[in-house]
Structure 1
């Protein structure tokens, strides 16, 4: 018997005995991670003191969570989202200097291969919903406009569905597009006013939300992946500050700095200038990218 295998498990020394068994781990990082996880789990069990029935309920919840996962659904990510773990991990990974635009969660509905579009194009292919004009400038932290920035944009429609959720109903790549800034750093495109929507709530995570007295909704938003060589990639949203769920996003993705006014415009001349025939919404938001070497 090796030295690290000695010691008998007790309530008092449980962490030390379990973590000692991992001393021969070939990956030091794995050993470190498992030591922290073991310590925190044991602390939780000591504090909660679960009954046998409660412990089995927890095991069965995790079992059901795994059973509902497939190639198109990842219930464990959803669980991470509603516990705030996804946002915390993202915040730690994406620390940026003051003034740079903040990150938020990617979400499950990004699609690779969205079409490259010309500035001013309308990403709404079925012409359903309230029209919007979305625009702004991409700058560096010194205030200089950035040329060649790639903005990958996507959103839900006015019913709260992404195109991949309504295949055969919405056109392929509806409300998606990739735009590239010119020398002035400006971007602009036409879209529709997005709507709040629920995360998938027909599984164990949705049931947990119900038991906790929480709703499954995300407030209305646009998604952006903003990238340029030499700069930190930005994964973020633009939120409607007047949305009914803006203060209670079920996945905690809202940040105050990411809110932008969704301003209604009733001016016929402005509508015609942007290719609309009536009332539309205007939303302006500038992005600030941090250089890769900046921490």
Structure 2
């Protein structure tokens, strides 16, 4: 049924009616976005000659996506979250903002409410015989290279099974296992004592992997650690580091890898003295540079639904 009806008066009037453009009530921005997205969809149906069964398969898919709670996961897997980062990078260049630790995607698995300690935090609440000890430490500075005192560094990552606390389908992890926050000390230093994470894959029977299978794509991520870094007088940083040596570093289904965010992993001893589970441990030094506010405002705050739990 190779017909073209998008430009017809009937379809154009339908689009205006669906977005209620002829009514002054409602939210003007919502109407604008709805009209544009519907227009793009209708035109794509024309251009690609989509059939009714394909359209209803798509509707059914979005129902499953919602039931599985995977919309944010799919946003990462289809590059939408990476695209937002590309736009923010471009906006920084346009505003002549340079330097700073590179941003990268937040992902869908942050949980607010983790305890925030001063200087050092041990976050491996649960034992994990398959994960060795890891120390992540560094200094938070501003663009002037001076330490940022009382910056809050939050981190979260998966266990050796590739599961995050609060999202672990096995129910095996304690609240806030492998999650925590640290306020930097007078020298801008922070430190997390934790366990080495592994990468994870999308739920194999979930909606995200269903679409990736149709695209002949995998749904796996390399081992990584997420960070939020906030300060009263600097812009918020959302970033993550990949664990050096992971074979998927440059094949991340969520497109989060950046060359500057693959720090070296160093073999160390003396872990027992630090309270770690073994004397031999791995260390990552990840120094963080924040950027200045823009006209007194933090334009990096992204309001989005996030899980919140009281510690």
Tell me the TM-score range normalised by the shorter chain: 0.7 to 0.9
Which residue does 1:145 correspond to in 2? 147
Q: Residues 235-254 of structure 1 correspond to what in structure 2 (within 5 A)?
A: 235-254=238-257
CA contact (8 A) 1:133 1:274 kept: no
1:193 pairs with 2:196: yes
Q: Secondary structure at the match of 1:218?
A: coil
Residues of 2 paired with 1:261 and 1:25: CA distance? 57
Q: Note if 1:11 corresponds to 2:12.
A: no
State whether residues 227 and 239 of structure 2, in contact with CA within 8 Å, keep that contact through their aligned partners in structure 1: yes
| Number of equivalences | 279
Indicate conservation of the 8 Å contact 2:155/2:225, yes or no.
Answer: yes
- For the 8 Å contact 2:6–2:43, the answer to whether it is kept is no
Q: Which deviates the most, 110-119 or 150-159?
A: 110-119
Counterpart CA distance in 1 for 2:81 and 2:265 is 27
Indicate how the Cα distance of structure 1 residues 121 and 55 shifts in structure 2: closer, same or farther if over 3 A, else same.
closer
Instruction: Give the direction of change, closer, same or farther, for the CA distance of 1:231–1:53 in structure 2 (3 Å limit).
Output: same
Alignment of 1:1-295 (within 5 A): 10-13=5-8, 16-21=12-17, 22-26=21-25, 27-66=27-66, 68-69=67-68, 74-93=69-88, 95-96=91-92, 97-128=97-128, 129-166=131-168, 169-265=172-268, 268=269, 270-271=270-271, 274-276=274-276, 277-293=278-294
What TM-score results when the alignment is normalised by the length of structure 1?
A: 0.84
The 3-state SS of whatever aligns with 1:205 is: helix
Q: Deviations over 1:94-129 (max 9, x none)?
A: 754221223223223222221123433321123422
Task: Note the C-alpha offset of 1:19.
Answer: 4.5
- Secondary structure of the residue aligned to 1:42 is helix
Normalised TM-score (structure 2): 0.80
Asked if the contact 2:72–2:108 (Cα under 8 Å) also holds between the matched residues in 1, the reply is no
In 2, are the aligned partners of 1:25 and 1:31 still within 8 Å (CA)? no
**What SS is found at the alignment partner of 1:197?**
coil
Any conservation in 1 of the 2:156–2:226 contact (CA below 8 Å)? Answer: yes
For the Cα contact (< 8 Å) 1:91–1:103, is it kept in 2? no
Residues 147-192 of structure 1 show CA distances to partners (whole Å, capped at 9, x for unaligned) of 0101111111122111223475223221121100122111112111
CA contact (8 A) 1:130 1:158 kept: no
CA apart distance, 1:139: 0.9
* Structure 2 stretches lacking a partner, 5+ long: 300-311
Say if 2:121 and 2:181, in contact at 8 Å, map to a contact too. no
CA contact (8 A) 1:138 1:289 kept: yes
**Helix, strand or coil for the counterpart of 1:54?**
helix
> Is the contact made by 1:23 and 1:31 (CA closer than 8 Å) also made in structure 2?
no
